[in-house]
């Protein structure tokens, strides 16, 4: 794994942690979760900026946002007990397929 994709994994993880803490922050009225949100997004954007040294912005952002959407949807389902209906699952599947196509077949991602 190239450093760019390692940094991308860190950026995705930090963004997912930050987004997951948003609900617990209760509109930034709870200090602990609010600090997690701010710190998580700061780490996410810092590492995303490092990714852009070696990975094209369109590819990096597609993978970052796609993976984030899927992971947050799964956390919402598993942790927050938010249901996912068939159209939601189909959409998530299409996002996963899109990220896979970029990774497996796009020459743009091979830097």
Give the mean model confidence (pLDDT) for residues 72-77. Answer: 94
CA dist list (Å): 12 to 29, 56, 87: 25, 16, 24
Q: Are 37 and 18 in contact (CB under 8 A)?
A: yes
Write out the H or E segment, with its range, that includes residue 67: helix 57-78
pLDDT score of 111: 52
At 76-91, the pLDDT tens digits run 999 999 999 999 999 9
Contacts of 42 (CB under 8 A, 6+ apart): none
pLDDT tens digits, 20-52: 999 899 999 999 999 999 999 999 999 999 999
């Amino acid at each position: 794994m190239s450093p760019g994709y390692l940094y991308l994994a860190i950026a995705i993880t930090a963004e997912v942690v930050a987004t997951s803490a948003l609900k617990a922050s209760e509109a930034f009225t709870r200090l602990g979760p609010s600090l997690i949100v701010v710190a998580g997004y700061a780490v996410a954007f810092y590492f995303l900026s490092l990714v852009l040294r070696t990975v094209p912005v369109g590819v990096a952002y597609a993978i970052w946002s796609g993976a984030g959407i899927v992971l947050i949807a799964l956390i919402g389902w598993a942790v927050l007990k938010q249901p996912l209906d068939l159209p939601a699952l189909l959409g998530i599947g299409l996002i996963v397929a899109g990220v896979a196509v970029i990774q497996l077949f796009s020459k743009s991602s091979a830097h």
